[in-house]
């Protein structure tokens, strides 16, 4: 009964959101809690249908991986100016002319990075307290994401540059000079690779995912600083549906 009721509420809200989108041009609201949470994203708007119907969704629990001579994953980032935005779902950092990664399929420019807590990716069932997603796009608009996992441990000075400048309010913006995204990366670039999706609506597929296997650290105070703004902003893991995960690099 409770479930039916919340479903009905979700449909009403979805309907209202659709009207709102039609009149304001804004996409319908979604969140990480019912009734607009992940279990209902697909019903909030037709544009979000893939969140429910998609067969190659992210994130995933990486339980097994096939050792392959996977293509290259090389980083060519450069430090520079970055804009830090509180977008209402996470903290999103957009570096200007920050460089690119190179995969077997070519070059992808770094567009933005953002954070989820707890981590969206799981490794053999294990969840980490935080992850970063580094989102890249190539010349024809295809996406490649590098996922970085963080565990609690040492203070992370590069992360601190971002955390110390997080705007508290939705829509708030801050500017950073000389942000070096490459300093967030481990020296080893071994990674799990698979084909997935955006982990937020519209859950678009054909995203090339690369989850670095080296786990980075942040201090408990740093984790608390992020969680003070976003206590939980992770989509649950999605079924593999026969997809293979490769490990290499
Ligand atoms: Zn993400």
Q: What is the Å distance from ligand 1's center to 86 Cα?
A: 14
Residues 216-249: tens digit of each pLDDT: 999 999 999 999 999 999 999 999 999 999 998 7
pLDDT score of 1? 36
pLDDT per residue as tens digits for the range 117-170: 999 999 999 999 999 999 999 999 999 999 999 999 999 999 999 999 999 999
Distance from residue 59's CA to the centre of ligand 1 (Å): 9
- Whether residue 14 has pLDDT greater than 50: no
pLDDT of residue 16: 44
d(CA 13, CA 44): 8
Average pLDDT, the chain: 91
CA–CA distance from 177 to each of 81, 90, 98, 112, 180 (Å)?
4, 21, 12, 15, 9
Percentage of the chain exceeding pLDDT 70 = 88
Which pLDDT does position 67 carry in this prediction? Answer: 85
Average pLDDT over residues 44-63: 96
pLDDT at residue 3, rounded to an integer: 42
Q: How many CB atoms lie within 10 A of CB 52?
A: 15
Query: Ligand 1 center to residue 197 CA distance, Å?
Result: 10
Q: Identify the bridge partners of residue 176 per DSSP, sorted by sequence position.
A: 82
Tokens of 97: 């002319």
The 10 Å CB-count burial string (b at 16+, else e) for 189-219 is: bebbbbebbbbbbbbebebbbbbbbebbebb
Cα 114 to ligand 1 centre (Å):
6
Average pLDDT over residues 95-116: 97
For residue 149, how far is its CA from the centre of ligand 1 (angstroms)?
Answer: 12
**DSSP calls for 66-102:** EE------EEEE--EEEEEEE-SSSEEEEESS-EEEE
pLDDT score of 13 more than 70:
no
Q: What is the average pLDDT across 195-199?
A: 98
Strand, helix or coil for residue 249: coil
Q: How far is the CA of 2 from the centre of ligand 1 (A)?
A: 31
* pLDDT for 24: 55
Compute, in angstroms, the gap from residue 207 CA to the centroid of ligand 1.
12
CA distances from 83 to 91, 158, 207, 218, 228 (A): 10, 15, 24, 21, 20
Q: Which CATH number fits domain 54-248: 3.40.50.300, 3.10.200.10, 3.40.50.150, 3.90.110.10?
A: 3.10.200.10
pLDDT digits (tens, 9 = 90+) for 47-56: 999 999 999 9
Closest alpha carbon to 130 in 196, 31, 219, 51:
219
Please give the structure tokens belonging to residue 201: 């609506």
Q: Do 160 and 219 contact (CB within 8 A), yes or no?
A: no
């Amino acid at each position: 009964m409770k479930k039916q009721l919340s479903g009905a509420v979700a449909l009403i809200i979805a309907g209202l959101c659709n009207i709102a989108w039609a009149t304001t041009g804004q996409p319908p609201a979604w969140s990480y809690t019912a009734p607009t949470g992940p279990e209902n994203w697909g019903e909030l708007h037709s544009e979000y249908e893939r969140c429910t119907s998609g067969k190659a969704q992210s994130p995933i629990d990486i339980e097994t991986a096939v050792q392959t001579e996977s293509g290259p994953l090389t980083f060519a980032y450069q430090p520079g100016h970055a804009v830090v935005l509180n977008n209402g779902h996470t903290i999103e950092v957009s570096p200007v002319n920050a460089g690119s990664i190179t995969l077997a399929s070519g070059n992808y420019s770094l567009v933005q990075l953002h954070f989820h807590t707890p981590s969206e990716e799981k490794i053999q069932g294990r969840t980490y307290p935080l992850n970063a997603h580094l989102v890249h796009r190539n010349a024809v608009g295809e996406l490649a994401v590098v996922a970085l996992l963080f565990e609690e441990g040492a203070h992370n000075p590069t992360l601190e540059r971002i955390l110390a400048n997080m705007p508290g309010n939705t829509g708030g913006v801050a500017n950073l000079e000389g942000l070096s995204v490459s300093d967030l990366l481990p020296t080893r670039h071994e990674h799990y690779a698979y084909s997935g999706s955006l982990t937020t609506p519209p859950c678009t597929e054909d995203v090339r995912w690369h989850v670095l296997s080296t786990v980075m650290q942040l201090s408990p105070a740093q984790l608390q600083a992020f969680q003070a703004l976003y206590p939980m902003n992770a989509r649950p893991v999605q079924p593999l549906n026969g997809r293979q995960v490769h490990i290499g690099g």
